[in-house]
Structures are given as structure tokens and as C-alpha cells.
């Protein structure tokens, strides 16, 4: 039998998402007039109030209407994290469109692919990225409007509009809601899914509106009363570290707006600045990815700052192992709760969130409101028993509408009964906690036996002389594949033999590092914190092709 969430369902969201957000923004302004909605971490003098956020969003929607941005069209946001990202999203969606975030680190080729695939007709960017955007647009014929946030007094190229002028109107925008449907497209983030190249994930007003309510319900009814009783968001600040174009970072941006906390925005991640801002703003809750957990647990610079205000810490986007979590909690004893969540872009953000009663720091959380789940045996297609490993399947009202113009990929990911096949291997314990072991495509097969890279990575990170690590399978004539470790040293005296012997003393023979050890200055990772194993595999293949 599929497992239903133990937490009570929230109502399915049927109203325009922008209406919910803007109503909250206005409410915060009336309760705390003049208070900052967002502050720049790098430049605290750069901020925006709740009222300005409200007015700018309406003004931008008017701009789009004047420039014939039609209902259902897509605007790509090519920006680093900044308060203008929130205005861009609200202005676009208030005007009846959908927002598609793109990484500010993308090359013009990568931008071109997303512009073309998303069928974007408008782009919002800044001066730093304008040249790349304009190069990409030359081959994306549907784009008719480019808006640019200026950082200097240099004139903008012809045909590029100044963002500051676009948000200078004081007129209230009146949306045309008579043709609105909860199934209208709201967000179009890009994800590779379980296989293949990046695809546009169609998230509707219903999907993401319900998702937002699920998350807020969980924190206000499950987390805050237990871990931070008396927590008053309107008096607090939170750090927005994770990229807004990624569903995790964007979800936190929206959580910030709905709760009314002041968001301290990092345009790029700076670990020392992170510590400084925790200390300055006395931050109580922290949302991170595993590399930040590793930094806070291991880096000597952390001890120079007072981080005792942090009561609650969450990690997501990739698994975080027990040894590194224990090291973190031993170092920062004022943290009352550390938990991990689980989800993917295709499910709207999260399907599992941590809960205080779980008493497990390493689980991926518990199934949250409105979801059902099952663990499915890969060979038989039948449900697994408690403790047995299989593919994680989830279903619920926040599951994506599908991949844009990819019916076959959609059918491979969401079956006819509405189950999202995550491509993740996991199991449920007797208490209902989910443990994600690895991804289907990342499992290393040694003589037919499965070796999860995450297991070896957790082990390597428990070594005091290892700062970071990644493991992949490389071709081996005897066993099919052999595990190879890529290691960032915390001590230059650490040798490859030291690493091999350490692992040898801890795991079965087939899990040993028979593929060797290579030392790197850093492990390649996506902004979300996920290890870019494909890049490591490509580098290995390139080496072999030269032999």
C-alpha cells in the first residue's frame, strides 16, 4: 500500500500565485512600514522596502503590457541573486506570463539553448551579463524585449530597456483574471531530470501555490513550535544564499516573502561573509547545501565568529553524511535541530521535510502534507518492504504539469497513474523516515554489486585530513567498474595510499578504491551543491583517449 503523509493536508491552491504574494507583501508593509524586505549581503546600503517591492512589481507589469508581452509568454531571468529577481518574477507573472530562471554563470551557448527551448519573448538581466545575453538572443528569434539592471552610467545599447525606468511608474496594474486557470504556467525552471539534457519543468499556479502552503504549514505547525517557540518572523532576518534560478533557492525566496523576514541576499557565495552575516544579524535558521555544512564543520576561519544564534539548520539538494553532521553539531553546540529534506524540481520543490520527532539527522525527512509515496523494486515493479531498497516514487498536487514540449520524457518520468519516478534509490525505516542511498544512474556496479558513491564520500569526509571528496566508477576489465576517489586535502601530507588504506579498513572488498585516488584543488559542483560526476567522468575518458 502506498504511504500517505502523517501531516494534515493543506487546501489545493486555486488563486493566482502573484495575488497571494502581493497581498502578503502589502500586509507586511502595513504591519512594519519602512522595514526592509531585502538587503544586499555585500552592500548593506542597498535595500528595498516591502512597499517598494509592491510598487515596483506593479510598475513592471505595466511595462510588460505596454511592450506587448502576452498572456502565457515566458520571460527568462538571467541574474545573480538580487532583490530585482523577486520584482522580475512578480512583474512577469502579474502580467500573465511565466518566469524561467537561468544561471548567471551560463555561457551564451547555454543561454541560447534555454531561450530557444523555453520560447522566451523577454529577458531580464544586468549589465554584467548583458553582452552574453545579446549574443545568445541573436539566435533566439522570439525574444523581442530585453530589460537591463544598470550598475553604471554607461548608456545601454539600442533596443535594451533600463530596468530603473521600467519600474518608475506609480500606476497600479489591473490583471486580467477572467481567463485565469490554476493550471496556467507560472514557473519554467530547467532540470535534467533522471536522464538526458536540461528540460523545461512546467510548474503551474496550482502546483507552486500548493507547494508554498505545504512548506509554510510544515514550518509554522511542525518546526517552529518545537524548535523555536515564540519565533516572530517580522522581527527576524534570514540569509538567502542559494541561487534563485534553482528551485530550492527560489522556494526560500518565496518563504522569506510570505513570512515577512528580512532577506539578506548573497549575490555569490562567500563563506567568510556568511559567518559575518550570521553574527551581524543573529540569524536563527539557516538553509544550506552539503558544501556549506562541510565548511562550517571543518574550516578554521569559522571559529573567529559568533554563530551561537543559529538554532535550526537544514540541508538539501544532495545527501549529507552522519560523520560530517556530527562534526558540525559537536563544533556548534547551540544548534538545536539539524535536518535534511528531499525533493526535485519536478515535484514542485520538496516531497519530504525533516521533523523534530524523527530523531535522525541523516534521513531525507518525512513525507510532507498532500503527498503519497512508495518504494518500488527495480526488478519486479512491486512495492518494497520496510527497509528494502528501491526507486522512490511520489505523487501529489504539486507534481509538474510535464516537461515543455517533451511528451516522451514526461511519460518516462510520470506514469499514467500520476506517480513521479524520481530516479533515486532509497528505503523507508520503520518510523517512516526516508533514506536516499543514491541515484540510479550514479550507482557503481562492481562485479554486479552496487556501490553507492555517496556512501564512500561520507566515509572519506569522516577523515580529519580530507576537506572534500567525490567518487565515480571508472571502466575496469575485471570487475566492470572500479570506484575512484577525487579528494581535496586538508593536510598536504595525506597520500593516496593513506586514503586507500583508510577506506580498505572500513568497507567490503568490492567497495574499495581499486580505481585509485586523485587529488584536486576542489570538487566540481553545481550551484545547488550536487557533485558534477559527469564532468569527472568526462575528464577520465579524456585521459584514456590520450593513452
Q: Please report how many Cα atoms fall inside a 13 Å half-sphere around the Cα of residue 56, on the Cβ side.
A: 19
The cell numbers describing 40, all together, are 544586499
For strands 312-315 and 285-288, give the pairing. Answer: parallel
User: In the CATH hierarchy, which top-level class contains the domain 17-179?
Assistant: alpha beta
Hey, what's the cell of 439? 541515484
- The pLDDT score that the predictor gives to residue 547 is 61
- Tell me how far CA of residue 189 lies from CA of 106, 108, 533, in angstroms: 14, 18, 22
Q: Measure the CA–CA gap between 374 and 394, rounded to whole angstroms.
A: 7
pLDDT of residue 414: 97
| Series of mean pLDDT values for 10-residue runs along the chain (547 residues) | 94 98 98 97 97 98 96 98 99 98 89 95 98 95 97 94 96 92 98 74 99 98 95 97 94 98 96 97 95 90 96 89 91 95 96 85 93 95 95 98 96 96 94 87 76 87 95 87 96 97 88 96 88 89 75
Cβ-contact 361, 330 below 8 angstroms: no
Provide the β-strand partners of residue 286.
313
In the chain, what are the domain boundaries?
Answer: 17-179, 443-546
Kindly give, in sequence order, each residue whose CB lies less than 8 Å from that of residue 330, ignoring residues fewer than 6 positions away.
none
Cell readout for 447 is 562485479
Place of cell 577525487: 486
**CATH class of the domain defined by 443-546:** alpha beta
Angle at Cα 484 formed by Cα 482 and Cα 488, nearest 5°? Answer: 170
Q: Tell me what pLDDT residue 109 has.
A: 86
Q: Tell me the C-alpha distance between 346 and 189, whole Å.
A: 9
Q: Give the span between the Cα atoms of 287 and 308, in whole angstroms.
A: 16
Q: What is the pLDDT of residue 7?
A: 96
User: Do the Cβ atoms of 49 and 55 come closer than 8 Å?
Assistant: no
Its pTM stands at 0.86
Output DSSP code: residue 219.
Answer: I
Interatomic CA distance for residues 137 and 491, integer angstroms: 47
The pLDDT, as a whole number, for residue 478 is: 78
Contact 140, 112 (CB under 8 A): yes
Q: Which segments within 103-249 are labelled E, that is strand?
A: 120-126, 145-149, 160-162, 185-187, 190-191, 199-204, 237-240
d(CA 97, CA 122): 10
Q: What is the pLDDT of residue 515?
A: 97
What is the reported pLDDT for 160? Answer: 97
Instruction: Give strand pairing partners of 405.
Output: none
pLDDT at 361: 81
Amino acid at each position: 500500500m502506498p504511504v500517505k503523509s502523517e501531516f494534515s493536508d493543506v487546501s489545493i491552491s486555486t488563486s493566482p500565485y502573484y495575488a497571494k504574494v502581493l497581498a502578503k507583501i502589502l500586509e507586511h508593509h502595513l504591519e512594519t512600514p519602512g522595514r526592509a524586505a531585502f538587503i544586499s549581503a555585500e552592500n548593506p546600503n542597498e535595500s528595498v522596502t516591502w512597499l517598494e517591492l509592491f510598487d515596483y512589481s506593479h510598475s513592471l507589469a505595466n511595462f510588460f503590457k505596454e511592450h506587448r508581452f502576452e498572456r502565457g509568454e515566458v520571460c527568462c531571468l538571467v541574474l545573480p541573486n538580487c532583490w530585482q529577481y523577486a520584482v522580475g518574477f512578480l512583474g512577469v507573472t502579474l502580467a500573465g506570463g511565466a518566469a524561467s530562471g537561468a544561471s548567471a554563470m551560463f555561457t551564451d551557448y547555454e543561454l541560447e539553448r534555454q531561450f530557444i527551448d523555453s520560447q522566451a519573448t523577454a529577458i531580464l538581466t544586468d549589465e554584467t551579463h548583458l553582452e552574453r545575453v545579446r549574443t545568445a538572443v541573436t539566435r533566439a528569434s522570439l525574444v523581442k524585449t530585453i530589460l537591463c539592471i544598470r550598475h553604471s552610467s554607461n548608456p545601454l545599447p539600442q533596443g535594451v530597456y533600463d530596468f530603473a525606468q521600467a519600474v518608475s511608474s506609480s500606476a497600479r496594474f489591473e490583471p486580467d483574471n477572467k481567463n485565469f486557470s490554476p493550471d496556467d504556467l507560472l514557473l519554467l525552471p530547467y532540470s535534467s531530470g533522471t536522464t538526458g539534457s536540461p528540460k523545461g519543468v512546467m510548474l503551474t499556479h496550482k502546483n507552486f501555490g500548493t507547494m508554498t502552503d505545504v512548506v509554510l504549514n510544515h514550518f509554522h505547525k511542525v518546526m517552529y513550535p518545537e524548535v523555536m517557540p515564540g519565533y516572530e518572523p517580522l522581527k527576524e532576518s534570514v540569509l538567502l544564499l542559494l541561487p534563485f534560478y534553482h528551485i530550492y533557492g527560489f522556494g526560500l525566496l518565496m518563504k522569506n516573502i510570505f513570512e515577512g523576514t528580512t532577506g539578506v541576499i548573497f549575490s555569490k557565495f562567500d563563506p567568510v561573509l556568511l559567518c559575518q552575516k550570521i553574527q551581524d544579524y543573529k540569524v536563527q535558521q539557516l538553509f544550506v547545501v552539503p558544501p556549506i555544512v562541510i565548511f562550517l564543520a571543518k574550516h578554521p576561519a569559522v571559529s573567529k565568529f559568533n554563530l551561537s544564534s543559529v538554532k535550526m539548520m537544514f540541508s538539501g539538494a544532495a545527501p549529507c553524511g552522519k560523520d560530517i553532521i556530527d562534526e558540525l553539531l559537536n563544533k556548534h553546540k547551540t544548534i538545536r535541530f539539524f535536518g535534511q529534506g528531499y525533493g526535485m524540481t519536478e515535484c514542485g520543490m520538496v516531497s519530504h521535510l525533516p521533523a523534530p520527532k524523527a530523531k535522525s539527522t541523516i534521513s531525507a525527512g518525512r513525507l510532507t502534507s498532500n503527498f503519497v509515496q512508495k518504494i518500488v523494486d527495480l526488478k519486479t515493479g512491486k512495492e518494497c518492504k520496510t527497509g528494502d531498497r528501491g526507486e522512490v516514487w511520489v505523487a501529489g498536487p504539486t507534481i509538474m504539469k510535464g516537461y515543455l514540449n517533451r511528451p516522451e520524457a514526461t511519460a518516462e518520468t510520470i506514469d499514467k497513474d500520476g506517480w513521479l519516478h524520481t530516479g533515486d534509490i532509497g528505503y523507508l525505516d520503520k518510523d517512516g523516515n526516508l533514506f536516499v542511498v543514491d541515484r540510479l544512474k550514479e550507482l557503481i556496479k562492481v562485479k554486479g554489486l552496487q556501490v553507492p558513491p555517496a556512501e564512500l564520500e561520507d566515509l572519506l569526509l569522516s577523515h580529519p585530513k580530507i576537506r572534500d571528496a567525490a567518487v565515480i566508477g571508472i571502466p575496469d576489465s575485471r570487475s566492470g567498474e572500479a570506484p575512484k576517489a577525487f579528494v581535496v586535502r586538508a593536510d598536504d601530507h595525506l597520500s593516496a595510499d593513506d586514503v586507500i588504506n583508510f577506506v580498505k579498513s572500513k568497507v567490503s572488498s568490492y567497495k574499495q578504491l581499486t580505481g585509485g585516488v586523485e587529488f584536486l584543488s576542489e570538487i566540481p559542483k553545481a550551484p545547488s551543491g550536487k557533485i558534477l560526476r559527469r564532468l569527472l567522468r568526462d575528464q577520465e575518458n579524456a585521459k584514456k583517449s590520450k593513452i
